[in-house]
Amino acid sequence: MLTPQDAEWIQVAIIYKKTVNIKKERVNSMRFSEKGQHSHQATNGLFGVDLHHFVKKEQEATYVELASEFGISVNDVRKLKKQLDRS
């Protein structure tokens, strides 16, 4: 037979379980939102920018391709490469 105190503890346990389930649902819904996806992706660089993009492109592309992609002149690309080689 349940005492009134046991009944109170059961009610507290049920409320606690519901609260935990609600918190889990909120966390799961955030993970499926756009903001949640960005925060959980390890491939994103700083603020969603891939900082190694120029290095990857540099190995594959020519001066003209790099200049057109980054919106700078061919001479600027050559100067950048010379400076990188010196350092």
- 13 burial level (CB within 10 Å; 0-12, 13-18, 19+): exposed
**What letter does residue 49 receive in the DSSP assignment?**
B
* pLDDT for residue 44 is more than 60: no
DSSP element (H, E) containing 2: none
Q: Does the global pTM surpass 0.85?
A: no
pLDDT tens figures, 50-87: 666 666 776 777 777 777 777 778 788 788 878 878 76
Residue 46's SS3 state is: strand
Virtual CA dihedral for 29, 31, 36, 42, nearest 10 degrees? 180
Name the residue with tokens 């061919």: 74
Domain ranges of the chain: 1-41, 49-87
